[in-house]
Structure 1
Amino acid sequence: MTTPGAGRVRQNEIYSEGVHDRVPSVPTDFGELERRAKSAMSQRGWAYINGGAGEGSTMTANRRALDRWAIVPRVLRDVSQRSLSIELFGQQLAAPVLFSPVGAGGLVTRAADVHIGRAAAQLGVPYIFSNQGSAPMEDVAAAMDDVKPGAPRWFQLYWSTDDDLVGSFLQRAEAMGAGAVAVTLDTTMLGWRPQDLNLGSLPFARAEGIAQYTHDPRFAQIVAQRVADAAASGGADSPKPSIGAIKTLFEIARNVPGSVWANLRAKEPRASVQTFLDIYSRPSLNWNDIAGLRDRTKLPIVLKGILHPDDARRAVELGVDGIIVSNHGGRQIDGSIGSVDALVDVVDAVDGRAKVLVDSGIHTGADVFKVLALGADAACIGRAHMYGLALAGVDGARDVVANIIAELDLTLGLSGNTDVTTLTREALKEIR
């Protein structure tokens, strides 16, 4: 879609409101957005959403990788009409931007995924539903369809130790209209995350971020069997109660389906948490599993977490449809390569045989411009939309990404370009 400019439209909206002394509900620069979001979020929520692995060096590497590339504008070109539209797996998207999956969004607000889904639907770009979401995928899909029937959505898959549960997730993703399944490869174990560790805070231990599981029929079977087995064996000794344990029990009861009082008396809620912790991810995940995935789903398969060109080649050889170059926002390995430093080699290795997306450290429209020029087909936005959600709910999540899209449009035109699909590395210069 060629338009006179999403950027100018967004600017005019904000400046028109300024005439009435009304300022944007979310800051238009990432630094201020981050500062205000910290004030709006709980300590546990901030630790989980903002935190990285180890000393945070991978988060720093993500930004340095983007800063190594400078945009080289061209002038005296007609840029009055510009196109941000792209096609991904048969879906035409309004812009080359996706809302990344962020687990345990309930730390920011209840049913966070429903709000994020509505925000994405309003913008006409996909939301990759988190496997560790705070609302079941069916509820998020219904909310998006209320905004715009058939609004684009994908599903993120964490590969469980229970293969039948993997199959159930895939079936549900197909049924709720997912446009692709993004298999997360880099979180077969949780990374060392000091911000969470220093608080002793694992959201999933409080049933925060396990809604995909507690609403799944296969997961319910596993839990029921575990409860029955425990009863048959006489059950385990209960730990000595503490104020903290009692508070956690109330939180679990609140975060799983059913009434809080019924859940407090039942064994299934606590068993659900322990079951999730035992089976949610599989360290033995390997290429043979990916090779067999095509037989299990009709959806386009995207592998999320690839950073090495040899892994990208292997993925393409197996016939995957897309790759997300990602280091999980710096949350898994301290000292990892920056995503954008890995992007160029992955793009060259793929050589057009699959779609290439990228995330981690992408905060602005100028960042999106750079990764598109480096060969990515689209960029995924993570923490930024969660900060907007913390500040202003659905409107905040939407406006943060709308601002990124607006800046992308302006950067496209101001650099002398008119179509995001025709950007090349000639638009950039590497700074060493």
Structure 2
Amino acid sequence: MTETQPGNAPGRLRQMQIYVTGAGGKRPTVPVAPHLLEQAAIRKMTPEAAAYIVGGAGSETTIRVNRAAFERHRIVPRVLRDVSRRDLSVTLFGRRHPAPVLLDPVGVLEMVHPEADLAVARAAAAENIAYVFSNQASVSMEQCAAAMGDAPRWFQLYWSSDDDFVRSVVARAEKCSCEAIAVTLDTTLLGWRPRDLDAAYLPFLRGLGLAQYLSDPVFKSKIPRSPPETGVKPRGFDLISTALSLRRKGKQFDLSMQQMRAAVAHFTATYSRPDLNWADLKRLRTMTKLPILLKGIRHADDARLAYQHGVDGIIVSNHGGRQVDGEVATLDALPGIVSAASGLPVLLDSGVRSGSDVAKALALGATAVLIGRPYVYGLALAGETGVREVIRNIVAEFDLTLALAGLAKASELDASILAG
């Protein structure tokens, strides 16, 4: 999509898809309104899945301030401008994207739908939207890449304490034609998440969300013969369901129950790296020629350091409010980070729920945005079809918001369209 024609602009096209088929009694597969989409998905998910996907850190104030920031900023439309043809596209690392929207990496999607990441990959490819493969995926990156054809994909890296594994997954990402590596920096430790803690449920201990590890030859070669002694013993009837989950995963990756228990223990011992620092970026650069983005920047000084250390882009993110309770909203942090980034592409996630949100983020300096929870809700409700509808709805609303604000190009969005 370089320029939309009056009859095939995504906003009008999506409206017609809904209204014309609605004349025959058909309704959208998933709710269009963001709050109804979330409510419907919560009803469909198990309590554990809903807690993991919907919940946040502490009292969840960061989730609320993310949304409050978008709601606080107001668009001031201009009129009597020719917006009959519109260009929604943005260019990132040599790739022209038809809209400034990518799909965030979200882990453990098998909790909400059996096809998990594979359904998301197919949906993203069908809509020509870039998908960032999760480090904590339920389906290996190779399977997802095979389903996407030439559609754009990136890879999210959680920097393990085992550099051999990091080197291996980065090489796999290159072979899968990923076009960038997004290093997540805000999860070197797991945040304090009361919903998960109250449920005493961590999916990784059941072997979920570990497909990138269990499909990796380096990780598998380092699985110990038996789980190390931790001094903490699991108790209760859920041991049966945990064992069954581990057995199912073991069969999928040709590992015995004993090996699965040891693999989970090895993962928990190595997945995070609290000592990660700026000097490590030079080492990552020796592992890949792909563009490197830092995901989780929230302070302007860190944006300056990112530029000084030669990274290729920044993702302003607070992990959807899942890591630190009471931190700054990403939209509020965005302008200062853009100013400090010295021209690096700056993307944003956390709190994005609509096409109007996309427009506001671009107006405040974002090159593009990533959406997370909304497409997961679509996945929970209707698999690949649900993800596709969520993508279409957000892009359609962005297209209409752009036009109704009096602009014909996404690149024209700036702070002048916002009140104050």
After TM superposition, the structure 1 = structure 2 runs for residues 283-362 of structure 1, keeping only pairs within 5 Å, are 283-352=274-343, 354-362=344-352
Matching residue of 1:122: 126
Deviations 1:55-104 (A, max 9, x none): 01000110111122111100000000001111111111111000001111
Of residues 374, 399, 407 in structure 1, which corresponds to 2:389? 399
Matching residue of 1:22: 26
Asked whether the equivalents of residues 226 and 262 of structure 2 are also in contact (C-alpha less than 8 Å), the reply is no
2: CA distance between counterparts of 1:302 and 1:134? 23
Of residues 398, 405, 411 in structure 2, which corresponds to 1:408? 398
Matching residue of 1:278: 269
Alpha carbons of structure 1 residues 84 and 190: separation in structure 2 relative to 1, 3 Å: same
After TM superposition, the structure 1 = structure 2 runs for residues 34-45 of structure 1, keeping only pairs within 5 Å, are 34-45=38-49
2: CA distance between counterparts of 1:371 and 1:404? 13
Asked whether the equivalents of residues 82 and 413 of structure 1 are also in contact (C-alpha less than 8 Å), the reply is yes
Deviations 1:160-189 (A, max 9, x none): 010000000100000000010000000001
Asked whether the equivalents of residues 131 and 158 of structure 1 are also in contact (C-alpha less than 8 Å), the reply is yes
Matching residue of 2:196: 196
What one-letter code is carried by the residue in structure 2 that aligns with 1:124?
Answer: N
2: CA distance between counterparts of 1:401 and 1:240? 41
Of residues 77, 85, 104 in structure 2, which corresponds to 1:73? 77
2: CA distance between counterparts of 1:59 and 1:248? 30
Superposed displacement of residue 109, structure 1:
1.3
After TM superposition, the structure 1 = structure 2 runs for residues 26-425 of structure 1, keeping only pairs within 5 Å, are 26-145=30-149, 150-223=150-223, 226-227=224-225, 242-258=236-252, 266-352=257-343, 354-425=344-415
User: Per the alignment, in what secondary structure is the counterpart of residue 314 of structure 2?
Assistant: strand
Superposed displacement of residue 238, structure 1:
11
2: CA distance between counterparts of 1:79 and 1:341? 29
Alpha carbons of structure 1 residues 359 and 239: separation in structure 2 relative to 1, 3 Å: closer
User: Per the alignment, in what secondary structure is the counterpart of residue 78 of structure 1?
Assistant: coil
Matching residue of 1:3: 4
Superposed displacement of residue 424, structure 1:
1.2
Query: Structure 1 stretches (4+) deviating beyond 4 angstroms?
Result: 235-242
The percent identity for this pair of structures is 50
2: CA distance between counterparts of 1:238 and 1:401? 43
User: Per the alignment, in what secondary structure is the counterpart of residue 128 of structure 1?
Assistant: strand
Asked whether the equivalents of residues 227 and 265 of structure 2 are also in contact (C-alpha less than 8 Å), the reply is no
Deviations 1:381-422 (A, max 9, x none): 000000000111101011111100000000000010000012
User: Per the alignment, in what secondary structure is the counterpart of residue 340 of structure 1?
Assistant: helix
Superposed displacement of residue 229, structure 1:
9.5
TM-score, with length taken from structure 1? 0.93
Asked whether the equivalents of residues 156 and 182 of structure 2 are also in contact (C-alpha less than 8 Å), the reply is yes
What one-letter code is carried by the residue in structure 1 that aligns with 2:174?
Answer: E
Asked whether the equivalents of residues 293 and 314 of structure 2 are also in contact (C-alpha less than 8 Å), the reply is yes
2: CA distance between counterparts of 1:109 and 1:179? 27
Asked whether the equivalents of residues 81 and 406 of structure 2 are also in contact (C-alpha less than 8 Å), the reply is yes
Alpha carbons of structure 1 residues 356 and 241: separation in structure 2 relative to 1, 3 Å: closer
Superposed displacement of residue 333, structure 1:
0.3
Asked whether the equivalents of residues 100 and 382 of structure 1 are also in contact (C-alpha less than 8 Å), the reply is yes
Q: Which runs of 5+ in 2 are unaligned?
A: none
Which moved further from structure 2: 134-143 or 248-257?
Answer: 248-257
Asked whether the equivalents of residues 188 and 283 of structure 1 are also in contact (C-alpha less than 8 Å), the reply is yes
User: Per the alignment, in what secondary structure is the counterpart of residue 182 of structure 1?
Assistant: strand
Which moved further from structure 2: 235-244 or 29-38?
Answer: 235-244
Asked whether the equivalents of residues 186 and 319 of structure 2 are also in contact (C-alpha less than 8 Å), the reply is yes
2: CA distance between counterparts of 1:400 and 1:320? 31
Deviations 1:12-46 (A, max 9, x none): 00001110110000111101001101111110110
Asked whether the equivalents of residues 115 and 383 of structure 2 are also in contact (C-alpha less than 8 Å), the reply is no
Q: How large is the Cα RMSD of the aligned pairs?
A: 1.7
What one-letter code is carried by the residue in structure 1 that aligns with 2:373?
Answer: R
Alpha carbons of structure 1 residues 344 and 256: separation in structure 2 relative to 1, 3 Å: farther
Superposed displacement of residue 257, structure 1:
4.6
Q: Which runs of 5+ in 1 are unaligned?
A: none
Alpha carbons of structure 1 residues 316 and 277: separation in structure 2 relative to 1, 3 Å: same
2: CA distance between counterparts of 1:255 and 1:419? 47
2: CA distance between counterparts of 1:144 and 1:179? 13
2: CA distance between counterparts of 1:52 and 1:248? 24
User: Per the alignment, in what secondary structure is the counterpart of residue 71 of structure 1?
Assistant: coil
2: CA distance between counterparts of 1:62 and 1:236? 38
1: CA distance between counterparts of 2:414 and 2:65? 23
Deviations 1:203-258 (A, max 9, x none): 101011011000000000110xx11797xxxx999958753212201111112454
TM-score, with length taken from structure 2? 0.96
Superposed displacement of residue 291, structure 1:
2.7
Superposed displacement of residue 423, structure 1:
1.3
Asked whether the equivalents of residues 402 and 408 of structure 2 are also in contact (C-alpha less than 8 Å), the reply is yes
